[in-house]
Every structure is written in C-alpha cells, then in structure tokens.
Amino acid sequence: MQKLFGFVLAIVAAILVGGIALHRGESINALWIIAAAACIYTLGYRFYAAWISADVLAADPTRATPAERLDNGRDFVPTPRWVVFGHHFAAIAGPGPLIGPTLAAQFGYLPGTLWILIGSVLGGCVQDMVVLFCSTRRDGRTLGQMARDELGPFGGTAAILGTLSIMVILIAVLGLVVVNAMKHSPWATATVFATIPIAVLVGLYMRSLRPGRVAEASLLGVALLLGAVVLGGWVDHEPALRTYFDHPGTTLAWFVIGYGFVAAVLPVWLLLAPRDYLSTFLKLGTVVLLALAIVVLRPELKMPALTRFVDGSGPIFAGKLFPFVFITIACGAISGFHALVSSGTTPKLIATERDVRLVGYGSMVLESLVAIMAMIAAALLDPGVYFAINSPLAALGGAPDAAVATLTAWGFPVSVEQMHALAREVGEATLFARTGGAPSLAVGMASILSGVFGTGLLAVWYHFAIMFEAVFILTTLDAGTRVGRFMLQDALAHVWAPLGRTSWYPSVVLTSALVVAAWGYFLYVGVIDPYGGINILWPLFGIANQMLAGIALAVVTAILLKGSHARHAWITGIPLAWLAVVTTAAALEKLSSPNPKIGFLSGAADLAAKLAAGMLPPERLAAAPKLIFNQRLDALLTAFFLVVLWVVIADMLRLAWRRARGGRLPASPEAPYARSQLGEAGRA
Amino acid sequence: MPEPLAPRLRALAAALADVVRGAAGLDEYARYVAHHRRRHAGEPCPSRAEFFRNRQSARWHGVRRCC
C-alpha cells in the first residue's frame, strides 16, 4: 500500500515537473508549481527521510534522549513533537528564503524552483535532520564542538570562524535590503521606525505589566504593528511630517548601524525578545495567508521559464546560471546556518529519536515551501516590472528613461508611465532600482493579497509586506550581532580573561562595537556603490553560507563513516560533493573572472584604471577608492572561505580514505545508551 | 476503512496549535511547573514572572535566528 502510494506520487510529481519544464511560450499557473512541490516534499518526507531515519541513523525509540536524561525543566525538556517543530521552524526561518529566490528569478522561474525542490529534499532537509540527530546523540553539542570532536581542533576553529564571518556578511546584506526598501520612502521609513517603540512596549508589557503573558502581549503588538502600517500612510500624506522620514540611503545606513549597536547592548527583554515574538507571529500568519491566497487565486506566472540571463549578463547580479543559481538560493534549498540551530538548542527538546524526522526534515520542508512562494511572488510580476524594481539603474543605463529602453530592447517591455502608475498605486515615489528583493516581493505579495481582499488596499499591503520583512531582518540583525559578540568575547577571553565576561559592561560595549563596525562597514560600502551592493554582497553571503553547510555536512559525514552504517555515508556525502563543486566554482569565478562585473579583483582593477584615467564622473570620485578596497577585501574573504571549506573536507576525506583501506577509525563520542522511561504519553 | 474525518481534523487542529505554541514558547511555564511537581515536589516553585525573567535571557543567548 505504502509502495503503491509512493509509486503513484512519483508519477504525478514527474508529470507535474515535466509539465512545468516543457511548458514554454505561454504562461503557466502557479498551482502547477505548488502541486509539484507538494508531491516532491511528500515523497522526500515519507520515503527518503523515513529510510534515513530507520536504516541509516537507526533512530531508536527506546533510547532516552538528552531531554529525558538531563531534564531540568528549562533548556532540557522532553517536548511534544509539534511544539518542537514550531520552535525549530521559528528558529530556522528568517528573511533569507524570501530574498534569494526573488533575486534568482532573473534566470527565469525554472532553475530556481528546481534547485529549491531538489536541493531541499536531497540536501538541506537531510543536513538539518542528520545534524539534529547527531547532536541529540551527543547531549546537544554544538556544531563547533562536534567539528572539534570528529575532525580535530582545526575543524572546530574553522566552524567558529566561518560562523562569525557569515554572520557579518549576512547582517550587512540584510541591512542593505532594509535600507533599499526605506530609501526616500517616508511611508516605509515611518512604519519601520514605529516597529521599534512597539517592540519596546511589548517588552515592558511582558516584563512588568503582565509578566510572562506572551500570547497577550504578542497579539497586542501585532495589532499595533498593523496600526503602524496605516499610520505610516498618514505620515506620508502630511507634508510637514513626511520630510522627517525622507532620507537618502547613507543616512538610513547610519541609522541601521546605530540601531544595531544600541540593540546589541540593551537587555534582551527590552527589544530583541519581544520583537522575536512579534516576527514569529507575523511570519506564521503571513506564510499561511500567502499560501491560501495562491491556492485561491491561482495566479499565472508571467516570468519565462528561462531568461536570456542564464548566459551571465543579468542586471541584478552578474554570473552564469551555473554556479550562481546554487549560491544565490541558499536558504530554502540548503543553508549551513540551520546546522547551528539544529545543534545546540533544538536537540535538548527532542523527546524521542523518532521525532527527529519531523523536526529536522519537516521544518526544512516548510522553509523550502516559503522559498517556493517567494519565487512565485517574483515570477507573477511582469518581467519588465520585476527587472526595473530589482536592477540597479547603473546596470540599465543610468536614468529611468534609459532603463526602460534597455529592458524593452531585451524583450521585457515596460514603460516609465507603467512604473509611475504602479509606484503611485503602492504609495511610493518610485519603484526603480529598489534592489534587494524586499520591494519586488512586496509588490508581488501585495498584488496576490489584494486579489483576495480587493485592490483598494494595494498600498497598505505593500507597506505591510515591507514592515513584515523589516521586522524579520531587524530581529536577525540584533540577534546576529549578539551571537557575534558572544563568539568574539569567547575568543578574546584567551587574550585577556575579563573580556570574556558576558555581563561586564566595558567588554559588552567594546565587542558589540567591533561586531557592528564589521558589518556596518560592508553595509555602508554597499549603500554608496552605484551598483547597489547587493550584486557583491549576496554572492559573498551565498558562498559563506554554502561553506558553512559544507562544514556541517563534512562533520556529519565523518560521524556516519565512524558508525556502523558507513556504506550509507553518501546521503550527506553527495550533497557535500555538490556543494563543494558549486561553491568552489563560484568562488573561483568571483576571484579570477576577467569580467569586471563578476570578478572581485578584475572589478577592482577596472575601477582603479578608470579612476586613474579620469574616466569617472565627478559624483563617483569620492566613493571609488573605497569600492576598490572593498572588492579586494571581498576577494580575500572569498579565498578564505574556499580554503576553510577545503581544509575541512580534506580532514573528512582523510577519515574516508583510512576507512576505505580497511583501517579502524576512532569511535565517535556518543552519549551511552540509556533506556527511555517515557511512556507513549510522555512523547505525545 | 478510512478513519472518520472529525477526529482527524481535531488532531490536525491540535497539531497546528502545538506548532504556534512551540514557535512562540507559549507553554514553557506550564511545562516547567509540571516538571517541578514531578522532580522537586515540596519545594517552592518559581512564579510565572520569575521563571519568565530567568528563561528570557537564556533563550536569546545562543544562535536562535537564521538567515
């Protein structure tokens, strides 16, 4: 019966994917993609994940998990499976799966969609599940600790350095996305600013007024956030007020930097914790709303399956389909970041090893579905509009007139009037060059949602979507700054012990400032870059994230090799090999491509030559030296990521080689077996 | 023989409620009280406010938010 079901499902999935792939020339309905995704996820979850759990990991329901053995009612708590699922999903889902697919839509909807589906089912979900399982067997040890145990001190250091640097790049690029959404938009700026006092209010409510009443406070907060969207619209219509919220990118960048610093040194309960609650509720609500709206409306995708930009000449970011689609979409297909959450926090809640499949694999399936919805939202825009919103003007010829002419000549007809009308409808002065994905996603979401709720509210939906993404991003921003600070304090403690004390204020201020300065630098340079900065930072982030996934996969492959199921080590070995190929290819191209739009070094050389020859317009002179230095720094970072990845892989291959020659590997340090005392009731 | 629909829907609703609860950590305190009763019966149990304060700083200490 099970097999028959799987067989039928596989055929349906094949027909759907085939239908999508061969459907050329006319537009295709979004429902095809949703249906294909549902089939593929079900196949992956019901069969592949079940097989891995039973036969490769040998999940043992009679074995007591650390939550049971070390139960302290606080961080180690045996928890019902759907509650852990909710907790884990809330922790892994951030703004990443909304941005990557939106940018990758420049290749057409097909490559990104296929990569999201295949990459998640065979790669990302497997990584999350296996890391979660390994950490559960090791009392919730973190990825860094496991890397040290399995691969040696270098692996551990590499994991920590990798995490720190990816955090810096991630925060910078997310900050850039928010800045691009708020640039000269009083409505968006006022709304995003208003989310800060709202979060503080919610924090005070939860802390002092009605302590611990999270649900009440969050509902109040969500209501206030919706009010803030409307309030922003009112501000936008008051000429006296709107000037206070109308700022260029550089001012907003300084604001985000200052905010990041203040948020990182303030106590958690005042700002970070309440906003995290709010973004959790917003995220669950919006994802459900968007999914329902797509199913109800069944919108047609207007983006072609493949665009001409698979040749590498794309205006949003330069680079060919291979390897760049695979690093542009990291979150949603496979994200190394998830390995940090799958080890550490979540394993301490798992009541029985049987739940690892639902929590690890299942949560990533849902995250991947979010990425699919982001892809749909981008692909249902008119391609001309999509490119006009997401491309930096400099890539399209400079001014709006030239930009629409370029786009129309490329076969994506759009007019200045059309863009103005759209901007007016969503309550913005302009939608040109709002690079970074947030505004185009907001236009897409707004048009889906207003299709259900009526078009009169298009502007409100647009700013709701902007607010929703900004809340997400700001949460990641200060949570990430805090994590970076803890890691830095940990490292600096070796230099001078007091610096490691997380409650010593001078150390808190110093280390927070260092972390903020690191990402603030990349953010600022991104803002002054006439090409928008996203085209540089997002690939760097993708490479870093896939490098971290490579480290995580190498660690768990090493663990599998040491266990009794070494012949199945390919389940993580193949995703690792694929990531090694795409990350290396992308990194090498970013380092050595002679095309100044792709290669960091040739980009720097090109700009330096233009500067020396006096070919730059006067307004670009001041920024040019900074941009040149920045591209060289980016090249250095890319080389660093590449070296770290390969050293860790070499460490793992050393083990594989020894094993293949019949040698004995040191046993992997699992916590000893103890029989579970929890009845079925305790596992719920 | 397929299962009747009503209990399955009820189970689905319960699972969804659990997801929301887990995502926001809504019943952490109730679970702690249950744990306390089991393991530390007789000792005074921290109030909701005390427990909340204690947990909140711990909850955002490590990596808790992805990209």
Q: For residue A102, is it within any domain?
A: no
% of chain A residues with pLDDT over 70: 98
CA distances from A568 to A52, A141, A563, A572, A629 (A): 9, 23, 10, 9, 46
Got the DSSP string for A100-143? HHHHHGGG-HHHHHHHHHHHIIIIIHHHHHHHHHHHHHTTT--H
Q: Is the pLDDT of residue A644 over 80?
A: yes
Q: How confident is the model at residue A10 (pLDDT cuts 50, 70, 90)?
A: confident
Shared domain check, A528 and A393: yes
CA distances from A479 to A141, A251, A340 (A): 20, 23, 13
Shared domain check, A280 and A249: yes
Q: For residue A97, is it within any domain?
A: no
Which residues does residue A79 pair with via DSSP β-bridges, in sequence order? A350
**E strand or H helix at A643:** helix A624-660
On whether the CB atoms of residues A234 and A296 are closer than 8 A, the answer is no
Q: How confident is the model at residue B22 (pLDDT cuts 50, 70, 90)?
A: confident
On whether the CB atoms of residues A229 and A463 are closer than 8 A, the answer is yes
In chain B, which residues touch A (CB < 8 A)? 14-16, 18-29, 31-32, 35-36, 39, 48-49, 51-67
Higher pLDDT, A249 or B47: A249
Q: What is the pLDDT of residues A104-138, one digit of tens each?
A: 999 999 999 999 999 999 999 999 999 999 999 99
Q: Which residue of B has its CA nearest to A95?
A: B67
Q: Which residue of A has its CA nearest to B15?
A: A82
On whether the CB atoms of residues A132 and A346 are closer than 8 A, the answer is yes
Shared domain check, A173 and A37: no
Distance (Å) from the alpha carbon of B33 to chain A's nearest alpha carbon: 8
Shared domain check, A64 and A34: no
On whether the CB atoms of residues A558 and A150 are closer than 8 A, the answer is yes
B19/A86 CB distance under 8 A: yes
- Burial track A308-344 (b if 16+ CB lie within 10 A, e otherwise): ebbebebbbbbbbbebbbbbbbbbbbbbbbbbbbbbb
Domain that holds residue A36: 1-56
Identify the weakest region by mean pLDDT among A7-21, A136-150, A483-497, A562-576.
A7-21
Identify the weakest region by mean pLDDT among A238-252, A362-376, A500-514.
A500-514
Shared domain check, A202 and A174: yes
Q: Is the pLDDT of residue A43 over 90?
A: yes
Shared domain check, A180 and A36: no
Q: How confident is the model at residue A683 (pLDDT cuts 50, 70, 90)?
A: very low
Task: State the pLDDT at residue B44.
Answer: 85
B19/A85 CB distance under 8 A: yes
On whether the CB atoms of residues A352 and A683 are closer than 8 A, the answer is yes
Distance (Å) from the alpha carbon of A672 to chain B's nearest alpha carbon: 23
Report the distance separating Cα A552 and Cα A124, nearest Å. 11
- Burial track A258-287 (b if 16+ CB lie within 10 A, e otherwise): ebbbebbbeebbbbbbbbbbbbbbbbbebb
Contacts for A663 with CB less than 8 Å, ≥ 6 apart: none
Task: State the pLDDT at residue B65.
Answer: 64
Shared domain check, A61 and A13: no
Contacts of A211 in chain B (CB under 8 A): 48-49, 52-53
A96/B66 CB distance under 8 A: yes
Q: What is the pLDDT of residues A408-453, one digit of tens each?
A: 999 999 999 999 999 999 999 999 999 888 898 889 888 888 877 7
Shared domain check, A52 and A159: no
Contacts of B67 in chain A (CB under 8 A): 94-96, 170, 174, 330-331, 335, 337, 476, 541, 545
Shared domain check, A2 and A65: no
Shared domain check, A553 and A540: yes
Closest to A30 measured CA to CA, from A125, A105, A93? A105
Report the distance separating Cα A385 and Cα A307, nearest Å. 14
pTM of the predicted model as reported, rounded to 2 decimal places = 0.94
Report the distance separating Cα A350 and Cα A348, nearest Å. 6
Q: For residue A76, is it within any domain?
A: no
Q: For residue A457, is it within any domain?
A: yes
| Number of structural domains found in chain A | 2
Which residues does residue B57 pair with via DSSP β-bridges, in sequence order? none
Task: Tokens for A8, please give them.
Answer: 């039928």
Q: For residue A429, is it within any domain?
A: yes
Contacts of A95 in chain B (CB under 8 A): 67
Q: For residue A110, is it within any domain?
A: no
B67/A476 CB distance under 8 A: yes
DSSP letter (8 states) at residue A73: S
Q: Give the orientation angle of helix A186-204 with respect to helix A153-182, to 10 degrees.
A: 120
Q: What is the ipTM of this complex?
A: 0.83
Shared domain check, A52 and A178: no
Length of chain B: 67
A86/B57 CB distance under 8 A: no
Shared domain check, A61 and A2: no
Contacts of B58 in chain A (CB under 8 A): 74-75
Q: For residue A285, is it within any domain?
A: yes
The average confidence (pLDDT) of chain A is 92
Q: What is the pLDDT of residues A515-561, one digit of tens each?
A: 999 999 999 999 999 888 899 999 999 999 999 999 999 999 999 99
Q: Is the pLDDT of residue B1 over 60?
A: no
Provide the H-helix boundaries in A238-320: 239-242, 249-265, 272-297
Average pLDDT over residues A370-383: 94
Task: Tokens for A255, please give them.
Answer: 């604001």
Task: State the pLDDT at residue A684.
Answer: 44
Q: How confident is the model at residue B3 (pLDDT cuts 50, 70, 90)?
A: low
Average pLDDT over residues A371-375: 95
Report the distance separating Cα A207 and Cα B55, nearest Å. 12
A331/B58 CB distance under 8 A: no
Q: What is the pLDDT of residues A589-614, one digit of tens each?
A: 999 999 999 999 999 999 999 999 99
Where do we find the tokens 């990209």? B67
Q: For residue A94, is it within any domain?
A: no
Q: Which residue of B has its CA nearest to A169?
A: B67
DSSP letter (8 states) at residue A350: B
Best residue in B20, B60, B67 for a mutation probing chain A (most A CBs within 10 Å): B67
